[in-house]
Structure 1
């Protein structure tokens, strides 16, 4: 599974880093890049992704495990982008709404897995927002909840915030593809610098290190 992920993400081969007895010394330019002068006021971990992206599908299990490992009070903020050429931006924004509806119902990870599976394993496609609605309902999200959620002001505000964040980091030349993982708005994780043999452990440790980094 891990080798398939690394291949899907086009990671360059890297040597395993230090053992548990000798903790990794994380280095700028190797494990992470500094992409902004100032960090966000509050600690945050931000992932930009797309359900249409096969690399994002491969990374999803690791992202979900990372979210469960974050310090108390910090959650992985997932931003679904709308700039992939495989679908109209409006349809990609509908997928973002569907994710938010599912997340707010406590089903974000499960529905993310279902959407990734539908698009990449089943080779399905979406033409309209109604198609997306049908998939959520088929995966046990109540139709009434989907219908009300997709037009809910709070949901639409959250999707608008995703778009604003996407535009901000795109204009800053930080967001140039997906998946992209940013910590405190200042540090971008370099997946190619992480251990192949202990990718999840190394990812968790690096993000924890960057969350606490002060300089």
Structure 2
């Protein structure tokens, strides 16, 4: 009898904990539910997008926090980074990211770009400066420039612009879960809290399937 009572108490406590967690994040507060959901690349998975800019100090500070989180995501979650394209340096650096992504470079190359901009003061204004930087991290200079100027990368840059508009972003870093829910570090309550919101929304989408 005592075991049954204890089980009932634990079950009630568990349900209460789940309810408390569910109430922790609310649409219109920590995140925004998009009126017009954006189609995802792989509908069979739960898509998580981070929109960023290499020149954004908040994105730079978010990197060591979000990268370990990305590594432990389950197989049913499809994580993508999308460069925010607001014109000028944003577009140039966004095209750089897409060129490097098309070359399947390691994360440490992207880390080197962030460090060059924020730590070393290298603003990477031209493709040539970008090529010189990445060459020092094992990326072929000519291959990078070819990728940077390729039709495929330029087409993906246009797609990134359209995605940013569809998500209705006004700054970065911003995260979008399954094309439905948008939030940023500020609305979430901090970098670590943003990942908690992401986990909450991933679970929300998983439960709805």
TM-score range, shorter chain: 0.7 to 0.9
Given the alignment, which residue of 85, 89, 106 partners 1:82? 85
User: Which of 54, 62, 69 is residue 72 of structure 2 equivalent to?
Assistant: 69
Per the alignment, residue 28 of structure 2 pairs with 29
Q: Which protein has the bigger helix share?
A: 2
Give yes or no for contact 1:195–1:202 (8 Å, CA) kept in 2: no
Are the counterparts in 1 of residues 31 and 188 from structure 2 also a CA contact under 8 Å? no
Residue number in structure 2 paired with 1:191: 185
CA shift in 2, pair 1:80/1:200, >3 Å? closer
CA spacing shift, 1:107–1:210, aligned 2, 3 Å: farther
- Asked whether the 8 Å contact 1:66–1:200 carries over to 2, the reply is no
Q: CA deviation at 1:213?
A: 5.6
Could you tell me whether the CA contact under 8 Å between 1:103 and 1:109 is conserved in 2?
A: no
Partner residue of 1:14? Answer: none
State how far apart, in whole Å, the 2-side matches of 1:93 and 1:188 are. 22
Cα contact 1:101–1:155 (8 A) shared by 2: yes
How well do the aligned residues superpose, as a CA RMSD in angstroms?
3.1
Aligned pair partner of 1:208 in 172, 188, 202: 202
Larger relative contact order, structure 1 or 2 (CA cutoff 8 Å, min sep 6) = 1
Partner of 1:4: none
| TM-score of the aligned structures, taking structure 2 as reference length | 0.73
Contiguous gaps of at least 5 residues in structure 1: 1-18, 84-88
Counterpart mapping for 1:1-215 below 5 A: 22-23=17-18, 24-25=21-22, 26-38=25-37, 40=39, 42=43, 43-72=46-75, 74-83=77-86, 89-107=87-105, 109-169=107-167, 174-189=168-183, 191-192=185-186, 199=193, 202-203=196-197, 205-212=199-206, 214=208
Q: Which residue in 1 is equivalent to 2:3?
A: none
The two structures have a TM-score, normalised by structure 1, of 0.71
